[in-house]
A and B are shown apart, each in its own frame.
Chain A
Amino acid sequence: MTKMKYIIAALVLAISSVAYSHEMVPTYPELTISHIDGLQKTTVTIFNKRAEVEYYEIGVFTEEWEPIPFVSNYKIYKIPYLSTVSVEIYVRKEDKDRTTYICSMSKLRKKQVTRTAIKSRICSLVKQKRL
């Protein structure tokens, strides 16, 4: 009977501690020369541990949060639950000095959200901009 109580308590703890997360690395990506003339390149890796989210949008911004044009395979990536995706991002050489933040933001599907929902965004700081 006591054993059963422990098992139930462990199950309750395990269920209650389930959390859904969004991760992106590195914290400080570095823009480096790419194989394409006039473009600088960096790579970020996103891990989706949010079961209710399947899509993440990539954005590149200045220090004042103005969007900077960039190229990647997609702007919105499908990242299935518990999957990792590496994203190669290319910016123009002339935008290199303005490029400050690279962000990934969760995209919620209308049918998937309940009455309130949480939109998560992680922004890495380009290494050259780190003080």
Chain B
Amino acid sequence: MLNKNITTLGVAAAILLSAQSGIAQANETPINGTVQSRCIIQTDTAGTFGNPNAYTLTTASADGGENAVIRIDVTLANSYYAEITAPSEFSSSPTLPDQVTWTGDTEVKTVSDSTTMGAYESGKVELGMMDRYDLTATGSTWFKTSSVATMGGNKAFPGGNYTALVQADCIAK
């Protein structure tokens, strides 16, 4: 009889506990967040240099390289400039035997909305290796940057690792 009562009490306690935990689980926990306008710079493809001959490093795909691709997302129209600067020096390299001549260019590869962003490429301002785009619409823009480094006097690039930096700026206006 005593055992039966204990069992009954145990079952009742278990039901109460599970009911309480059920109530706890039903509580609403707020998840707070704030939406703010912003610019997001995404590194889509870092890019690679190909080495078609001894004195040239290039990102051209025909020469075994790969262009750098940067995606910039803006959530507020007419609020940002994008400035993409192709490299004009190596950030790390072996000791070089001569001066290196750099050429490079940036162009719009794709846009998320061709109606509102279609004029980005024709409207860009080029200042040396830097191309400035006025981001007049919300959405995503993919920029493609090519780079060619040529060693002076047709001398060969010494063996080793070479790194050059593409700079992507998003500047509020």
List residues of A whose CB falls within 8 A of some B CB: 19-28, 50, 52, 101, 108, 110, 113-125
Contact = CB atoms under 8 A, between A and B. Distances in A.
B43 A125 contact: no
Given A26-B36, A27-B79, A115-B161, A120 B168 contact: yes
Interface of A is mostly: strand
A19 B163 contact: no
Interface of B is mostly: strand
Interface of B: 36-44, 46-49, 59, 68, 70-71, 73, 76, 79-80, 87, 91-92, 147, 161-173
Contacts, number: 113
A16 B170 CA distance: 24
B38 A20 contact: no
Contacts of B147: 116
A117 B163 contact: yes
Contacts of A26: 36-38
A65 to B, nearest CB: 10
12 contacts: A19-B44, A28-B172, A110-B91, A113-B91, A116-B47, A116-B163, A116-B164, A118-B46, A120-B43, A120-B170, A122-B170, A125-B172
